[in-house]
C-alpha cells in the first residue's frame, strides 16, 4: 500500500451551535487523486480549511507526511507543499493575472528586504524565468491572452481558472481543490480534468478534489471519500459507493441519483 | 480606602457615560459592519446643540438635552443617507469606508469649531454640592447621569428584545444575507440604526459635558478610542458586551486614579485595549463571524 | 529678491518633505493596505528624537525641559530619530498587525496618536510639553554662515537628495517580489498566507519601512525649522498626507509627488495668505481642514485611483506561441472544446 501523505484523525469543529465537523477521519495516499464529496453543508469546505490550517479544529489531528501539523500555522504547511484553492474565487483583484501567478512562487530572491534592494539583478533574472513559466501555465489554462488584465476584471469562470493556475504555479505536492469546476463551462471542465490528471501523472501532485459533479469524479478520481453531517460516511471507488445503502440515502438518493445517471 | 471607594463611585459615573456611547457605536457597527470614525464628532454635535438650546434659546435644560439628542440622531441619519450608505452601496472596500468616516470626523470637528469657536462652555444648570450616599459622593448631575444611563440601557434592551425594529437589527447583526432573504427591510432598519446610534452619541456627549462641567467642542474627540476600547472589550457588534465593556473600562480607569495620576486615565484604557487585542481580540462576548 | 529666494527654498523643502511623508504612507497603505490614521505622530517621533539627541543637555534655568540632550553630531542624531520612529511603527504593528480586521489597526493607530499627543503635550519633562522644542541644532551651520538664504538652499539640496533616495528605494521595493507580496496582501491576506508566505512579517516590514520614511521626513522638518511643538502635528496634518496620497493616486509614487504638490504645497500655500478674520482667529485653519476632509471623501467617490493611477505591471517577455488564441482546438480525446470557455 502506498504511503499516506495526509491523514485526518477524529476532527471536530463547531461554529457556535453548528457542529460542522463531527469526528471525521480519513487518509489520502500519496500520488492519488481523491474526491471528497457530500451534500451541501456536509463540512467539506470546513475540512479543507482545517487541513490547510485556516481553521484550527476543536479536537483531532491533521497529519502531513507522518508529522502532526495540527498546531502549525497555515503558511508553514504551505511551505511543506500543502496548498489549497478556495470555493469562492479569491483572486488578487488589482494585480494582473500574470502577477497573480508570480506572487505565489515561494523562495524568490527578492522576497526579503535585503534581496529586494541589493540583489535586483538576481531577482530580475528570476522574475524573467518565472514569467516564462507562468505564461506557459496560463497558456495551458487558456488565459494567456488575459495575462495583463487585472484579475478582478475577469469573468467568474475565468477567475476559477486563475485560481487553479495560481495553485499550479506554486508547485504543490498536495493540492486541495474546493469545487474547482463550479461555474465553469462544460467544455472547460473537461480540460481542467485533463490538466489535473496530467499534473498528477507527470509531476506526481496528490489531489484532493471537493466536487459535486460526479461525472468528473468518475473520470479522474481513483477513490472517493464521502462526508455527510460532518462525518466520514464511506470511502472507496465510486462504483463501490453506488451500491452502498448509507451513501445512497445520504447523498446519491433523491435528485442526485439522476445526476449520477445510474 | 475612602478615596478608593469614592473612585468606584466615579467609575460608575464614567461607566454610565461610556455605556451610552459604546452601545451606540456597537449597535451601528453590528448592523453596518464598519467602524464609524466620525462617531467622536457626534458627541460634540450633541453637546453643543444642547448648549445652544439651553443657553442661547433658553429652553429648560431637560428639553434642550432631549432636542440635542434627537437632532444628533437626525444628523447621524442624514450623514449616513447622504454620504456613508451611498459609499457602502458602491461596495467600496472596508478600507475606503473607514477613510471616509475618518475624513468626516475632520470635517465635523472643524465645522463645530467654526460655529462655536474654541471657548469653554458650561450648561446653565445649577451646580449642586455633592450628596453622600454610603461611601460614595455624587453631584446631582452625576446621579442624573447614572439614572439616564440605566433608563437608556433598559430602553435599548427593550428595543432589542421586544420590538420588530430591534429584532431586525439583531438579525442583521447576526447574518446580513439571511436577514435580507427573510424579508427584512434592511435599508429602513439601517436608517433607524444610524438614528439611534446618533441619539446615543448625542446623549452621551451631553452627559459627558454635564460630568466634566466645562467643555469645548472637541471635548469628546479623545474619548473615541476609550469608546472603542469598551466596544472591543465587549466583543465588537455585541450590544450587551458593549455595556459590560463600558462598565469595565469606566471602573478600571477611575479606580486607577487611586494609584496613579488621573492624567493617565486614558493610558489605562489604552493598556486595556492593547491587552484585549493581544489576548482576546474577539472580545469578552465574541460575535460569530466577526473580528 | 532675498525674500523671494528664501520663500522658494521653503516651498521646495516643504514639497520634498511632504513627498517623503506621502511615500511613507504609500508603502503602508498603497502597497500593503495598512490604515495608518496617525501618520503625523511618526513624523513627530522622528523630529523630537532627533532633537533630543542633537541638542545639548537641557538648561533648566531657562525653564525648558527635555530628556537626553546628548549633543550628538547631527547625522547620528538623525539616525536616532529615524530608529525611534521605526520602533514606534514596530510596536504599533506588534499590537495591531496580528490577524485582525483592518478597523482594529486603524483604531490602534488612532489611539496611539491620541496617547502620544497627550503624553508629549501634558508632560513638560519629556519634550517641553505644549511649548515644544526650539533652538534645535541645524545641520550645515558651519558651512552656511554668510547669508540667511545660504542655509535654506543647502537644505533644499540636502532634502532633495534624501527625497530622491527615498523615491528610488520605494520604486525598487514596489517592483520587487517583496513589493508584489505586499500588494497581494493588500488584496487578500489569507490567500497570501495559504501560499506559504508569512503575511504578518511582510506587513510588519511595510509598517516599519513606512514609519522609518515618515520619521526621515520628521527629522528633515525639524532640521529646517529648528523647532516643533504639538500644535504642529495635529490630526489635521495627518489628513494632509492622506489627502495628498489619495488625490495623487495610491500605490504610485509619482501620484505621491503630484498629490503633495497639489495638496501640501499649492493648496496649503494658497490658503496661507488669506487674511485672518479677527473675531475668528481659527476660521481659516478650520475651513482648510473642512476642505481637506472633504477632498479626501470626494476623491474616494469620484476618483479612487487618484490623478495618477497605479501602474499596471508589465514584464519584458519572450512572446509565446498562443496555441489557444483562436479558442481551444479539440486537442483532447473526445473533447469538444469551444471558445466559449473564456467568455470575456
Ligand atoms: N465560518 C462559519 N461560521 C459558521 N458556520 C459555518 C462556517 N463555515 C461553515 N459553517 C457551517 O458549517 C457547516 C458545514 O459547512 P461547509 O461549508 O463546510 O459545507 P460544504 O460541505 O463545503 O458545503 P457546500 O457543498 O455547500 O460547499 C454548514 O452548516 C455551514 O453553515
Ligand atoms: Mg463547500
Ligand nearest to the CA of residue A178, numbered in listed order: 2
Ligand 1 atom showing the smallest separation from residue A230 Cα = 14
Q: Are B234 and B219 in contact (CB under 8 A)?
A: no
Cell of B57: 434659546
Q: Which residues contact C296 (CB under 8 A, 6 or more apart)?
A: B99, B100, B102, B103, B106, C239, C242, C243, C246
pLDDT value of residue C333: 34
Q: Which residue does chain C place closest to B264, by CA atoms?
A: C119
Q: Indicate if the pLDDT at residue B54 is higher than 80.
A: yes
pLDDT value of residue C332: 38
Chain C closest CA to B32's CA: distance in Å? Answer: 13
pLDDT value of residue C67: 86
**Record: contact B109-C239, CB cut-off 8 A:** no
Cell of C178: 517583496
Q: What is the DSSP letter of C127?
A: B
Mean pLDDT confidence for A47-56: 93
User: How far does chain A reach from its first CA to its final CA, in angstroms?
Assistant: 31
Q: Which residue of C177, C191, C322 is in closest CB contact with A145? A: C322
Taking the C-alpha atoms of residue C77 and residue C70, their distance in angstroms, rounded to an integer, is: 9
Q: How many CB pairs under 8 A join B and C?
A: 127
Q: CA separation (Å) from C53 to B235, C137, C204?
A: 43, 10, 26
Pocket test for ligand 1, best of A15, A24, A58 (most atoms within 8 A of CB): A15
pLDDT value of residue C77: 93
Sign of the alpha-carbon dihedral angle for A112, A118, A123, A124: positive
Chain A closest CA to C270's CA: distance in Å? Answer: 36
Q: Indicate if the pLDDT at residue A254 is higher than 60.
A: no
pLDDT value of residue B192: 96
Taking the C-alpha atoms of residue B118 and residue B219, their distance in angstroms, rounded to an integer, is: 10
**How sure is the predictor about B198, in pLDDT bands with cuts at 50, 70 and 90?**
very high
Which is more confidently placed, B116 or B290?
B116
Q: Which residues of C47-70 are buried (b: 16+ CB within 10 A; e: fewer)?
A: bbbbbbbbbeebeeeeebbbebbe
Q: What is the mean pLDDT of chain B?
A: 89
Q: Indicate if the pLDDT at residue A261 is higher than 50.
A: no
Ligand 1 centroid – CA A230 distance (Å): 9
Supply φ then ψ for residue A141, to 5 degrees. Answer: -90, 10
Q: Which residue of B37, B110, B278 is in closest CB contact with C95? A: B278
Poorest-pLDDT segment among B17-26, B92-101, C62-71, C206-215? C62-71
Which is more confidently placed, C290 or C131?
C290
pLDDT value of residue C137: 84
Torsion on CA atoms C305, C310, C311, C312, rounded to nearest 10: -80
Poorest-pLDDT segment among B47-56, B140-149, B260-269, C39-48? B260-269
> Which of A86-90, B131-135, C232-236, C311-315 holds the top average pLDDT?
A86-90
Q: Are A39 and A252 in contact (CB under 8 A)?
A: no
Q: What is the mean pLDDT of chain A?
A: 88
Taking the C-alpha atoms of residue B86 and residue B190, their distance in angstroms, rounded to an integer, is: 13
Ligand 1 atom showing the smallest separation from residue A227 Cα = 21
Chain C closest CA to B255's CA: distance in Å? Answer: 19
Ligand nearest to the CA of residue A212, numbered in listed order: 1
Q: Does C282 touch chain B (CB under 8 A)?
A: yes
How do B136-138 and B131-133 pair as beta strands? antiparallel
Which is more confidently placed, B116 or C63?
B116
pLDDT value of residue B157: 94
Q: Which residues contact A138 (CB under 8 A, 6 or more apart)?
A: A97, A98, A101, A144, A146, A147, A165
Chain C closest CA to B140's CA: distance in Å? Answer: 30
Q: CA separation (Å) from C145 to C51, C150, C159, C194, C254?
A: 21, 7, 19, 60, 36
Supply φ then ψ for residue B223, to 5 degrees. Answer: -75, -15
Taking the C-alpha atoms of residue A193 and residue A199, their distance in angstroms, rounded to an integer, is: 10
Long-range contacts (CB closer than 8 Å, 24 or more residues apart) made by B160-168 = B160/B239, B165/B189, B165/B192
**Record: contact C114-B225, CB cut-off 8 A:** yes
**Record: contact A190-C205, CB cut-off 8 A:** no
Task: Kindly report the protein residue whose alpha carbon is nearest to atom 29 of ligand 1.
Answer: A41
Q: Are B242 and B21 in contact (CB under 8 A)?
A: no
Which is more confidently placed, A253 or A78?
A78
* Look-up of cell digits 467622536: B40
pLDDT value of residue B2: 75
Q: Indicate if the pLDDT at residue C323 is higher than 70.
A: no
Domains (range + CATH), chain B: 2-124+137-279 (1.10.3470)
pLDDT value of residue C344: 32
Q: Are B120 and B214 in contact (CB under 8 A)?
A: yes
Q: Which residue of B103, B225, B267 is in closest CB contact with C297? A: B103
Ligand nearest to the CA of residue A41, numbered in listed order: 1
Q: Which residues surround ligand 2, an ion (CB under 5 A)?
A: A 45, 87
Question: For residue A27, what is the enclosing H or E element?
Answer: strand A18-29
**Record: contact A103-C192, CB cut-off 8 A:** yes
Q: Indicate if the pLDDT at residue C334 is higher than 50.
A: no
Where on the phi/psi map is residue A43: left (φ > 0), alpha (ψ -120 to 50), or beta? left
Within 8 A of C33 by CB-CB distance, chain B residues are 95
Poorest-pLDDT segment among A251-260, B195-204, B267-276, C37-46? A251-260
Q: Which residue of B94, B105, B113 is in closest CB contact with C102? A: B94
Taking the C-alpha atoms of residue C145 and residue C267, their distance in angstroms, rounded to an integer, is: 33
Q: How many CB atoms lie within 10 A of CB B190?
A: 22
pLDDT value of residue C331: 37
Domain locations along chain A = 4-89+171-260, 92-153
Mean pLDDT confidence for C196-213: 96
Closest C-alpha among C33, C18, C64, C44 to residue C215? C44
Q: Which CATH architecture has domain C2-313?
A: Orthogonal Bundle (1.10)
Torsion on CA atoms C208, C210, C212, C216, rounded to nearest 10: 180
Q: What is the DSSP letter of C276?
A: P
Mean pLDDT confidence for C290-302: 92
pLDDT value of residue B288: 53
pLDDT value of residue B206: 96
Q: What is the DSSP letter of A183?
A: T
Mean pLDDT confidence for B211-220: 90
Ligand nearest to the CA of residue A44, numbered in listed order: 1
* Look-up of cell digits 421586544: B162
Ligand nearest to the CA of residue B175, numbered in listed order: 1
Taking the C-alpha atoms of residue A259 and residue A215, their distance in angstroms, rounded to an integer, is: 8
Q: Which residues contact B134 (CB under 8 A, 6 or more apart)?
A: none
Within 8 A of B110 by CB-CB distance, chain C residues are 236, 286-287, 289-290, 293
pLDDT value of residue B247: 93
Mean pLDDT confidence for B90-100: 85
Taking the C-alpha atoms of residue A104 and residue C204, their distance in angstroms, rounded to an integer, is: 19
Q: Does C98 touch chain B (CB under 8 A)?
A: yes
pLDDT value of residue C321: 61
Q: Which residues contact A58 (CB under 8 A, 6 or more apart)?
A: A12, A13, A14
Query: Is C298 exposed, middle or buried (CB count within 10 Å of its CB: 0-12, 13-18, 19+)?
Result: middle
Task: Kindly report the protein residue whose alpha carbon is nearest to atom 1 of ligand 1.
Answer: B289
Pocket test for ligand 1, best of A13, A16, A20 (most atoms within 8 A of CB): A20
Mean pLDDT confidence for C84-88: 97
Within 8 A of C213 by CB-CB distance, chain A residues are none
pLDDT value of residue A233: 85
pLDDT value of residue B16: 95
Q: Please give all residues whose beta carbon lies within 6 A of any atom in ligand 1, as ranges.
A: A 15, 18, 20, 38, 40-46, 87; B 289
Q: What is the DSSP letter of C313?
A: P
Ligand 1 atom showing the smallest separation from residue A49 Cα = 18
**How sure is the predictor about C50, in pLDDT bands with cuts at 50, 70 and 90?**
very high
Mean pLDDT confidence for A186-211: 89
Mean pLDDT confidence for C218-237: 90
Q: Does B118 touch chain C (CB under 8 A)?
A: yes
Within 8 A of A75 by CB-CB distance, chain C residues are 193-199
Mean pLDDT confidence for B268-273: 88
Chain A closest CA to C126's CA: distance in Å? Answer: 34
**Record: contact C286-B113, CB cut-off 8 A:** yes
User: What fold characterizes domain A4-89+171-260?
Assistant: Rossmann fold (3.40.50)
Q: Which residues contact B144 (CB under 8 A, 6 or more apart)?
A: B207, B210
Q: Are A68 and A92 in contact (CB under 8 A)?
A: no
Task: Kindly report the protein residue whose alpha carbon is nearest to atom 26 of ligand 1.
Answer: A40
Q: Are B117 and C277 in contact (CB under 8 A)?
A: no
Ligand 1 atom showing the smallest separation from residue A46 Cα = 18
pLDDT value of residue A71: 92
Q: CA separation (Å) from A138 to A166, A178, C15, C183?
A: 9, 20, 44, 21
Q: Which residues contact A237 (CB under 8 A, 6 or more apart)?
A: A222, A223, A224
**How sure is the predictor about B122, in pLDDT bands with cuts at 50, 70 and 90?**
very high
Cell of B253: 480607569
**Record: contact C122-B281, CB cut-off 8 A:** no
Q: Does B113 touch chain C (CB under 8 A)?
A: yes
Interface test with C, best of A49, A55, A75 (most C CBs within 10 A): A75
CA C61-C63-C66 angle, to 5 degrees, is 105
Mean pLDDT confidence for A238-255: 71
Taking the C-alpha atoms of residue C111 and residue A262, their distance in angstroms, rounded to an integer, is: 64
What percentage of residues in chain A have a pLDDT greater than 90?
A: 61
Q: What is the mean pLDDT of chain C?
A: 86
Q: Are C178 and A115 in contact (CB under 8 A)?
A: yes
Interface test with B, best of C39, C93, C106, C244 (most B CBs within 10 A): C106
**Record: contact B225-C118, CB cut-off 8 A:** no
Within 8 A of C29 by CB-CB distance, chain B residues are 95
Ligand 1 centroid – CA B173 distance (Å): 19
Q: Which residue of B95, B232, B277 is in closest CB contact with C33? A: B95
Ligand 2 centroid – CA A44 distance (Å): 5
Q: Indicate if the pLDDT at residue B1 is higher than 70.
A: no
**Record: contact C192-A146, CB cut-off 8 A:** no
* Look-up of cell digits 469526528: A23
Poorest-pLDDT segment among A64-73, A74-83, B175-184, B277-286? B277-286
**How sure is the predictor about A1, in pLDDT bands with cuts at 50, 70 and 90?**
low
Ligand 1 centroid – CA A50 distance (Å): 12
Which is more confidently placed, C327 or C300?
C300
Domain locations along chain C = 2-313, 317-344
Q: Which residue of C316, C336, C343 is in closest CB contact with A157? A: C343
Q: Indicate if the pLDDT at residue A48 is higher than 80.
A: yes
Closest C-alpha among A168, A129, A161 to residue A146? A161
Where on the phi/psi map is residue A31: left (φ > 0), alpha (ψ -120 to 50), or beta? left
**How sure is the predictor about C341, in pLDDT bands with cuts at 50, 70 and 90?**
very low
Mean pLDDT confidence for A190-214: 90
Q: Indicate if the pLDDT at residue B245 is higher than 50.
A: yes
Which is more confidently placed, A247 or C307?
C307
Mean pLDDT confidence for C179-204: 94
Q: Indicate if the pLDDT at residue C338 is higher than 70.
A: no
Amino acid at each position: 500500500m502506498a504511503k499516506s501523505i495526509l491523514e485526518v484523525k477524529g476532527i471536530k469543529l463547531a461554529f457556535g451551535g453548528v457542529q460542522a465537523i463531527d469526528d471525521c477521519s480519513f487518509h489520502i495516499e500519496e500520488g492519488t487523486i481523491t474526491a471528497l464529496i457530500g451534500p451541501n453543508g456536509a463540512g467539506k469546505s470546513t475540512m479543507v480549511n482545517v487541513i490547510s490550517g485556516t481553521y484550527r479544529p476543536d479536537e483531532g489531528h491533521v497529519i502531513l507526511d507522518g508529522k502532526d501539523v495540527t498546531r502549525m500555522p497555515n503558511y508553514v504547511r504551505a511551505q511543506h507543499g500543502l496548498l489549497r484553492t478556495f470555493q469562492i474565487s479569491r483572486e488578487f483583484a488589482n494585480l494582473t493575472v500574470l502577477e497573480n501567478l508570480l506572487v505565489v512562487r515561494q523562495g524568490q530572491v527578492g522576497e526579503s528586504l535585503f534581496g529586494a534592494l541589493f540583489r535586483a539583478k538576481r531577482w530580475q533574472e528570476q522574475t524573467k524565468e518565472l514569467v516564462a513559466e507562468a505564461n506557459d501555465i496560463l497558456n495551458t489554462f487558456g488565459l494567456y491572452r488575459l495575462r495583463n488584465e487585472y484579475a478582478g476584471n475577469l469573468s467568474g469562470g475565468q477567475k476559477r481558472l486563475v485560481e487553479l493556475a495560481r495553485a499550479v504555479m506554486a508547485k504543490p505536492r498536495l493540492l486541495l481543490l474546493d469545487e474547482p469546476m463550479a461555474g465553469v463551462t462544460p467544455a472547460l471542465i473537461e480540460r481542467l480534468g485533463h490538466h489535473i490528471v496530467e499534473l498528477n501523472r507527470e509531476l506526481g501532485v496528490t489531489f484532493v478534489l471537493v466536487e459535486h459533479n460526479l461525472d468528473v469524479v468518475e473520470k479522474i478520481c481513483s477513490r472517493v471519500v464521502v462526508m455527510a453531517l460532518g462525518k466520514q460516511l464511506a470511502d472507496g471507488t465510486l462504483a463501490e459507493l453506488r451500491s452502498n445503502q448509507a451513501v445512497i440515502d445520504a447523498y446519491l438518493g433523491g435528485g442526485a441519483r439522476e445526476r449520477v445517471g445510474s | 480606602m475612602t478615596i478608593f471607594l469614592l473612585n468606584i463611585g466615579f467609575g460608575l459615573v464614567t461607566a454610565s457615560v461610556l455605556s451610552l456611547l459604546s452601545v451606540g457605536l456597537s449597535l451601528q457597527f453590528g448592523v453596518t459592519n464598519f467602524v464609524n470614525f466620525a462617531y467622536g464628532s457626534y458627541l460634540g454635535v450633541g453637546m453643543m446643540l444642547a448648549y445652544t438650546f439651553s443657553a442661547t434659546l433658553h429652553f429648560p435644560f431637560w428639553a434642550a438635552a432631549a432636542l440635542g439628542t434627537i437632532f444628533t440622531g437626525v444628523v447621524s441619519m442624514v450623514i449616513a443617507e447622504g454620504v456613508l450608505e451611498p459609499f457602502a452601496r458602491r461596495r467600496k472596500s472596508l478600507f475606503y469606508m473607514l477613510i471616509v468616516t475618518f475624513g468626516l470626523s475632520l470635517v465635523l470637528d472643524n465645522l463645530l469649531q467654526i460655529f462655536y469657536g474654541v471657548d469653554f462652555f458650561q450648561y446653565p444648570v445649577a451646580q449642586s454640592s455633592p450628596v453622600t450616599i454610603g461611601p460614595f459622593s455624587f453631584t446631582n448631575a452625576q446621579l442624573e447621569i447614572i439614572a439616564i444611563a440605566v433608563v437608556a440601557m433598559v430602553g435599548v434592551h427593550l428595543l432589542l428584545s421586544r420590538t420588530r425594529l430591534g429584532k431586525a437589527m439583531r438579525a442583521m447583526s447576526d447574518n446580513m444575507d439571511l436577514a435580507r432573504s427573510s424579508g427584512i427591510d434592511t435599508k429602513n432598519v439601517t436608517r433607524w440604526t444610524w438614528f439611534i446610534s446618533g441619539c446615543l452619541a448625542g446623549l452621551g456627549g451631553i452627559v459627558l459635558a454635564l460630568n466634566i462641567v466645562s467643555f469645548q467642542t472637541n471635548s469628546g474627540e479623545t474619548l473615541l478610542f476609550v469608546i472603542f476600547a469598551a466596544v472591543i472589550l465587549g466583543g465588537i457588534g455585541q450590544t450587551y458586551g458593549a455595556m459590560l465593556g463600558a462598565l469595565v473600562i469606566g471602573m478600571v480607569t477611575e479606580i486607577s486614579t487611586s494609584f496613579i495620576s488621573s492624567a493617565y486615565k486614558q493610558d489605562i484604557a489604552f493598556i486595556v485595549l492593547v491587552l484585549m487585542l493581544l489576548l482576546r481580540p474577539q472580545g469578552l462576548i465574541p460575535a460569530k463571524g466577526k473580528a | 529678491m532675498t525674500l523671494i529666494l528664501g520663500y522658494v527654498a521653503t516651498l521646495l523643502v516643504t514639497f520634498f518633505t511632504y513627498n517623503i511623508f506621502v511615500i511613507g504612507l504609500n508603502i503602508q497603505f498603497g502597497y500593503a493596505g495598512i490604515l495608518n490614521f496617525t501618520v503625523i505622530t511618526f513624523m513627530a517621533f522622528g523630529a523630537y528624537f532627533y532633537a533630543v539627541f542633537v541638542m545639548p543637555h537641557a538648561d533648566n534655568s531657562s525653564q525648558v525641559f527635555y530628556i537626553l540632550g546628548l549633543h550628538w553630531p547631527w547625522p547620528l542624531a538623525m539616525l536616532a530619530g529615524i530608529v525611534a520612529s521605526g520602533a514606534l511603527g514596530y510596536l504599533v504593528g506588534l499590537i495591531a498587525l496580528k490577524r485582525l480586521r483592518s478597523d482594529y489597526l486603524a483604531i490602534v493607530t488612532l489611539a496611539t496618536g491620541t496617547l502620544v499627543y497627550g503624553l508629549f503635550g501634558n508632560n513638560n519633562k519629556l519634550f517641553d510639553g505644549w511649548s515644544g522644542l526650539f533652538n534645535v541644532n541645524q545641520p550645515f551651520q558651519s558651512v552656511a554662515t554668510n547669508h540667511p538664504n545660504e542655509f535654506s538652499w543647502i537644505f533644499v539640496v540636502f532634502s532633495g537628495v534624501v527625497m530622491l533616495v527615498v523615491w528610488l528605494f520605494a520604486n525598487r521595493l514596489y517592483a520587487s517580489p517583496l513589493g508584489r507580496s505586499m500588494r497581494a496582501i493588500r488584496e487578500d491576506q489569507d490567500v497570501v498566507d495559504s501560499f506559504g508566505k508569512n503575511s504578518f512579517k511582510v506587513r510588519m516590514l511595510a509598517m516599519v519601512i513606512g514609519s522609518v520614511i515618515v520619521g526621515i521626513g520628521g527629522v528633515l522638518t525639524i532640521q529646517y525649522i529648528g523647532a516643533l511643538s504639538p500644535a504642529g502635528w495635529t490630526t489635521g496634518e495627518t489628513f494632509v498626507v492622506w489627502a495628498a496620497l489619495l488625490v495623487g493616486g495610491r500605490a504610485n509614487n509619482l501620484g505621491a509627488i503630484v498629490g503633495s504638490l497639489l495638496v501640501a504645497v499649492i493648496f496649503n500655500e494658497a490658503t496661507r495668505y488669506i487674511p485672518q478674520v479677527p473675531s475668528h482667529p481659527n476660521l481659516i485653519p478650520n475651513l482648510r481642514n473642512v476642505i481637506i476632509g472633504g477632498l479626501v471623501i470626494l476623491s474616494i467617490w469620484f476618483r479612487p485611483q487618484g490623478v495618477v493611477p497605479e501602474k499596471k505591471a508589465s514584464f519584458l517577455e519572450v512572446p509565446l506561441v498562443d496555441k489557444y488564441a483562436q479558442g481551444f482546438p479539440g486537442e483532447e480525446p473526445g473533447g469538444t472544446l469551444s471558445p466559449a470557455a473564456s467568455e470575456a
